[in-house]
Structure 1
Amino acid sequence: MDRPTWAPEGVDMQKPSPARMYDALLGGSHNFAVDRMAAEMGIKLVPDLPRLALSNRAFLRRAVRFMLDAGIRQFLDIGSGIPTAGNVHEIVHELDPEARVLYVDIDPVAVVHSRTILAGNDRAGAIEADLRKSDDLLAAVRETGLIDFDEPVGLLLIAVLHLVADDEDPVGKVAALREAVAPGSFIAISHLTSELRPEDAGKLGEQSATVNKIGIIFRSKDQIVELFQGWDSVEPGVVELPLWRPESQRDQHEQPGRSLGLGGVARKV
């Protein structure tokens, strides 16, 4: 298999990546055949899976705009994935070109592509780091000089915490980030859920573990709410993705009552 020019050496092109699978679901071009195959298998199990990806992307856009309206001018996007249309820095810089954005991902393909897009932009950057190693991640963020933890930060944990196993303490990982940021900071979390469609969640979870060898955890609403411990929830709380402050009918990618994702935004007081 020929290695694309955008794929770094050492990347396993035979193993699917959550970031590249998500890119495939969104119709992106920075994914491998194995990622497209894994995404297609998921769609065969749950045909409306691409709608979930679009719904998640729309939630990200609305959450970022909400934080901008609240005065946030620096954003830390952890588990950012492959940048596609409507990247966080595009949303942010449309309002304030001086605001700062730092993308963080464990997938080197995502990081390399992000850096290519951001070349020449001194208000945005991308680093490779692992959310499960929060001390190392925070140190790497500080080294960039883009994020000032003495000022409020917009933390984005979009579709990433369902890749952190229970024994890796996802609640603790979020708490470590909360401790690092200043009062007035916000956090946005979206997460796959077993709350509304347990059968579909079970099928996708089993496929991810046995076929793709990734390990995606579909959590209950109570478990997702627990991730916001210590934060002050923003109305309407943790809800289905299309129901979090929809701006128009175009945000209704999924039918209410059938979303496989929940999301919410909260503030550090």
Structure 2
Amino acid sequence: MLAGFSSLLLAPALFYGWLCILRPSRSDRQQVLFQGIVYQRRAVSQTRPVMLHIVTIDLTAPGVKPLVTPGLPEKGKKTNARTTSEFLNEFKLQLAVNGSYFHNFYEKSPWDYYPHSGDPSYPLGEVISNGHRYSNPEENKAVLCFAQNNLAQIFVSGKCPKDTFQAIAGQEMLVTEGKPVISHLQENKPYPRLAAAINQKGNKLWLIAVDGKQPLYSEGLTLTELTKTAIDLGADSAINMDGGGSVTLVMGKADGAKVLNAPVHTKLPMRERPVGNHLGFYALPTSVNTAKSK
């Protein structure tokens, strides 16, 4: 009886430990994932442990095309929540991240949270998918816009040009004209983060996913540190996207989606959160697969 009770008490700790083992190794790695898409993993130990996942996307590469989660035709209903892996698999994409801030949302326990996959969700700020806007601009939510020729722009106004084909809103601007925009930041603690950044020509995009809320593995970056990361990459403009337990980066493989970072939904490592919308990319396979680990 006592042995069985002890095993029951140990079960949650063993399950949590098993999830921790599934996290990406705290080691540096660089790999060409697809034509025009390069992935880099950085394990940082200075100040605090941090895991960075950086994807560089050449928007002029053959086969590269962005896609934002399409809206629903029903009046007053914007999207059904999905995990990032579900989004990638449904639309047969090669790469995807979570996207805009959204409501409604709460997280009380591993079994009591909202939304679940399939629940109604309402992304905030301007969202455009395949030329159709299903969420209106908001002044305090900057937006990443893609024209039909794939070139990207970020607008602090929160509103995209008329010829925009795909768009997804974030929150505050981090970088404008290559310079940091941090004087207005109200929250600046280490945290899981997602940023999107572009070069001056708008033909190169960086997605920066930062793991956090996982002591000894990755505690996250401040917005100031995230801003510096984007500038060091060469960003002319950068935007803060939805962070926290929403941060998820996945790639497509022959057997389905592979999670590249360590999401932490309901405080459980490697558990994906269903979110309001996403940003994904189609891409062509590459015969060049250069991987460097250390």
TM-score under structure 2 normalisation?
Answer: 0.28
Larger helix fraction of residues: 1
Considering Cα pairs closer than 8 Å and 6+ residues apart, tell me whether 1 or 2 has the greater RCO: 2
Q: Which has the larger radius of gyration?
A: 2
